[in-house]
Chain A
Amino acid sequence: MNLLWLQSGGCGGCTMSLLCADSSDLLGSLADAGIRILWHPSLSEESGAEALDLLAACAAGDLPVDLLCVEGSLLRGPDGSGRFHMLGGSGRPMIAWVQELAARARYTLAIGSCAAWGGVTAAGPNPAGACGLQYDGEAAGGLLGADYRSAAGLPVINVAGCPTHPGWVVETLMALALGQFDGDALDALARPRFYADQLVHHGCARNEYYEFKASAEKPSDQGCLMENMGCKGTQAHADCNLRPWNGSGSCTRGGYACISCTEPGFEEPGHPFVQTPKVAGIPIGLPSDMPKAWFVALAALSKSATPRRVRDNAVADHLAVTPAIRRTGLK
């Protein structure tokens, strides 16, 4: 399968993340799956006129594009002209290239939350007119329109995340190459379900603190980040704590809140990212499956039952109290 990768109004971080894949030979793995890199801006030899010739051949249909990966948001400004991102040397806006190539592609993939929804580039006053390939924030549409389907009949596959996890990209590409990916593999926001059917909360190393609502109060505390520090891990769809980042990491393991970067509109939470909005002392963004009254009742109960070890460790940056060694009598 021929893979063509373009970068638009993003930061290139999804490519950099991809190169952190924990395979022993990322490029070899892709080749083994029958994926041939036609062109990738960070990896390929062809520059300038050679690259433009190649893109033109793809746009004309002379060179088939099976996997069109777009990284970065699509910049429609100023005034719908697309001039905030011209493809260097071509004199044409990148949005025009993307529209032309997407009309040919067998599969079109949004790599990262910028290409999926608009992402951080669309934050604030959205100065560049950023949107995603098939979403503009939470609204379907985006550059290609809600009705867009690639040649294989699928909507844009939103491999969302800021950045996206290398495993999400590699496994999506390989599943497509192996013919093991269809419409049922996508969730309601067209994200691959293999990672989007999980919550960041699952496997979080702070789960014991969550159980007892033993909460972090300041950066570097070990406690649960949900109550005070803005963490949305109980609502954010991704398997970040089941599938490590860079060997053993995740946001919550790194000491900071999940900002739900796989979700549309995450860039404008309506509150400071690292502070939990509350009403009458109760966080307003509660776990999505949980009735509020139950949460309040359970939190009150669990807080009253919090062991000293958990309570003290929650507000320390290292284990202040270690688990007691007790004979359980169980064999």
Chain B
Amino acid sequence: MGERIVLGPFNRVEGDLEVQLEVADGRVAAAYVNSPLFRGFEQILRGKDPRDALVLVPRICGICSVSQSAAAAAALREAMGLAVPANGELAGNLVLAAENLADHFTHFYLFFMPDFAREAYAGRPWFDAARARFKAVHGSAAAEAVPARAAFLQLTGILAGKWPHTLSLQPGGSARAVSAAEKIRLYALLREFRRWLERHTFGDTLETIAALDSADALAAWAAARAPASSDLRLFLEIADDLGLARIGRATDRFISHGAYPLAGTPLFARGVWQPETATVAAFDPDEIREDLSHAWMQGEARHPWRGLTEPDADKDGAYSWCKAPRLAGRVVECGALARQVVDGHPLARNLVARDGASVLARVVCRLLELARVVPAMEAWVQALQPGEPFCAQGALPDEAMGCGLVEAARGALGHWLVIRHGRIAGYQIIAPTTWNFSPRDAAGTPGALEQALVGLPADDARVPLAVQHVVRSFDPCMVCTVH
């Protein structure tokens, strides 16, 4: 075994992250990902009134709190046997999409791009432009993107009272009906955000970006104008120079719970991408097990319906508070790239066919979702029918089970709720980063990030930039991971 280095604190991610690398011959030979924070939401929830989940679970995470709300509401909805009226679905989709897109936006401008403005890249042809635009705290993008994000999230002031931590999302839909005048304001806010994206992020229409159908088409689009003409073009120039399409590959097995349902059909499809056959198979949640062999948790691998969260800080061989979910025994990756591959977007499929999952593919698919979802949101706002119901009503049963599967910005989020005697008897959460940043399982198979880091250059143990690019390409959310 070669040198072992510990990286942390890992900032510009949500929550706490520590990465240990075994380095041999200047390259990462093995990686161990640790989430060094445990709060214990699954214990906090046990014994509570099931409706209290709507207050508590958003507080798992302040960056994707609505997705936690949406999963809890969906689990309660299944337990209550409710059907959501059309307005409720539209409003729910709008709130969740606002959060997911704000996350993609925050990730790109505040979390990911500032690494290219580091002095270590001085001398690269794109460096001066990257530094002026993306320097942490001081770059022009931080000054412009923060207020653009705040303005966009005014959608949630109308639709959800506030962000983060709303109680608007209910099992039966939304507790916040929208008036005709508010529809106009929502639409105006969306158009303002679209304009910002088209001017600064893309330098082109959202529809043009959404229609890019291959890596070649993307490259041709980028080459048509100067790199400095838009943030995406500048990123593509950097990615080309640094070979970001060829680092960060994990298993290429992708899952998506499917996102933004309307009358039974999601905007983005549900499924599992199988790299062996390059096809999408059905996603069967019964195939999930959470392995605890390398987590500071007691117990054996279980399905979340029967899962436990019992911390054991002294457990031998453990190195993370994160459990290791596996689908039919396999490591899977989730996120915007997974969502777009499963949904069949030609650009996502082509990027994966060419190089597999990569830093480039993950970042491009986040931006692709900005281009695909904003127009969908415009249509959802137009479809709202003020005066028609926003929320179905029903009673909580004393004995029931419910599963809520949604897509957070970072991918597949599942809540499994068991109600007994009118109280929460079991509540298990598998968050997107739990999938992506899981530790090894009993078979010794590393999690997705642990695989994606192997082989990277680790020549500068103090600031291993390639490692940082790969870690941040997943946009990790560690507070969700360990909850």
B227 at the interface (CB under 8 A from A): no
Chain A positions within 8 Å of B114 at CB level? 45
Q: A90-B9, A246-B154, A254-B160 are in contact. Are A50 and B51 (CB under 8 A)?
A: no
A16/B147 in contact, CB under 8 A: no
Most interface-central of A125, A127, A219 (chain B CB within 10 A):
A219
- 4 closest cross-chain pairs (CB), A and B: A254-B161, A13-B62, A88-B8, A89-B8
Shortest C-beta distance, B252 to chain A (Å), equals 28
Chain A positions within 8 Å of B45 at CB level? 124
Which of A21, A273, A317 touches B51 (beta carbons < 8 Å)?
A273
B157/A247 in contact, CB under 8 A: yes
A246/B162 in contact, CB under 8 A: yes
Which of A20, A41, A91 touches B150 (beta carbons < 8 Å)?
A20
Bound complex: CA of A83 vs CA of B36, how far in Å?
Answer: 8
List residues of A (249-281) whose CB comes within 8 Å of B's CBs.
249-257, 259, 261, 267, 272-275
B176/A88 in contact, CB under 8 A: no
Chain A positions within 8 Å of B393 at CB level? 218-219
A108 at the interface (CB under 8 A from B): no
A27/B176 in contact, CB under 8 A: no
A171 at the interface (CB under 8 A from B): no
A15 at the interface (CB under 8 A from B): yes
Shortest C-beta distance, B296 to chain A (Å), equals 9
A120/B136 in contact, CB under 8 A: no
A43/B136 in contact, CB under 8 A: yes
B137/A43 in contact, CB under 8 A: yes
Chain A positions within 8 Å of B462 at CB level? 48-50
B-side residues, CB < 8 A to A, are: 6-12, 14-18, 34, 36-40, 43-49, 51-52, 54-56, 59-63, 65, 106, 110-111, 114-115, 117-118, 135-137, 142-143, 146-147, 149-151, 153-168, 170, 172-177, 179, 311, 313, 386-387, 389-391, 393, 462-463, 468, 479
Chain A positions within 8 Å of B390 at CB level? 220, 317
B161/A253 in contact, CB under 8 A: yes
A87/B9 in contact, CB under 8 A: yes
Which of B6, B142, B177 touches A220 (beta carbons < 8 Å)?
B177
Shortest C-beta distance, A291 to chain B (Å), equals 30
Q: A12-B14, A45-B114, A124-B45 are in contact. Are A246 and B61 (CB under 8 A)?
A: no
Which of A28, A48, A130, A219 touches B8 (beta carbons < 8 Å)?
A48
Shortest C-beta distance, B311 to chain A (Å), equals 7
B156/A249 in contact, CB under 8 A: yes
Shortest C-beta distance, B4 to chain A (Å), equals 13
Shortest C-beta distance, B475 to chain A (Å), equals 12
B37/A9 in contact, CB under 8 A: yes
A12/B63 in contact, CB under 8 A: yes
A215 at the interface (CB under 8 A from B): no
A47/B170 in contact, CB under 8 A: no
Bound complex: CA of A83 vs CA of B159, how far in Å?
Answer: 39
Bound complex: CA of A256 vs CA of B137, how far in Å?
Answer: 35
A44 at the interface (CB under 8 A from B): yes
Residue of B nearest to A220 (CB): B391
A121 at the interface (CB under 8 A from B): yes
B44/A127 in contact, CB under 8 A: yes
Which of B36, B173, B311 touches A86 (beta carbons < 8 Å)?
B36
Q: Contact flags (1/0) for A1-42 with B, using CB distance below 8 Å? A: 000000101111111110111111111100000000101111
Bound complex: CA of A163 vs CA of B51, how far in Å?
Answer: 20
Please name 17 further chain A to chain B contacts, defined as beta carbons within 8 Å, in addition to the given A11-B59, A16-B164, A254-B176, sorted by A numbering: A12-B62, A16-B163, A17-B164, A20-B163, A27-B143, A46-B11, A47-B12, A52-B9, A88-B8, A89-B10, A123-B44, A127-B39, A219-B391, A220-B389, A273-B52, A274-B167, A318-B177
A209 at the interface (CB under 8 A from B): no
Chain B positions within 8 Å of A51 at CB level? 9, 11
A87/B165 in contact, CB under 8 A: no
Chain B positions within 8 Å of A25 at CB level? 143, 146-147
Shortest C-beta distance, A19 to chain B (Å), equals 6
Residue of B nearest to A81 (CB): B313
Bound complex: CA of A23 vs CA of B149, how far in Å?
Answer: 12
A256/B168 in contact, CB under 8 A: yes
A69 at the interface (CB under 8 A from B): no
Chain B positions within 8 Å of A257 at CB level? 167
Residue of B nearest to A53 (CB): B462
Chain B positions within 8 Å of A244 at CB level? 157
Residue of A nearest to B389 (CB): A317
Shortest C-beta distance, B380 to chain A (Å), equals 18
Bound complex: CA of A244 vs CA of B153, how far in Å?
Answer: 13
Shortest C-beta distance, A88 to chain B (Å), equals 3
Chain B positions within 8 Å of A23 at CB level? 147
21 of the cross-chain contacts (CB-CB < 8 Å) are: A11-B62, A11-B63, A13-B63, A16-B63, A16-B164, A19-B149, A20-B150, A26-B147, A40-B137, A48-B8, A48-B10, A48-B463, A85-B37, A89-B10, A90-B9, A124-B48, A254-B166, A254-B176, A256-B166, A272-B52, A318-B179
B111/A247 in contact, CB under 8 A: no
A78 at the interface (CB under 8 A from B): yes
A245 at the interface (CB under 8 A from B): yes
Most interface-central of B12, B45, B115, B389 (chain A CB within 10 A):
B12
Shortest C-beta distance, B91 to chain A (Å), equals 10
A75 at the interface (CB under 8 A from B): yes
Chain B positions within 8 Å of A84 at CB level? 37-39, 311, 313
Chain B positions within 8 Å of A259 at CB level? 55, 167
Bound complex: CA of A121 vs CA of B55, how far in Å?
Answer: 12
Bound complex: CA of A52 vs CA of B143, how far in Å?
Answer: 26
List residues of A (154-182) whose CB comes within 8 Å of B's CBs.
162-163
Which of B10, B117, B154, B172 touches A47 (beta carbons < 8 Å)?
B10
Bound complex: CA of A47 vs CA of B18, how far in Å?
Answer: 11
B158/A248 in contact, CB under 8 A: yes
A45/B38 in contact, CB under 8 A: no
A128 at the interface (CB under 8 A from B): yes
Chain B positions within 8 Å of A119 at CB level? 59
B146/A19 in contact, CB under 8 A: yes
Shortest C-beta distance, B77 to chain A (Å), equals 12
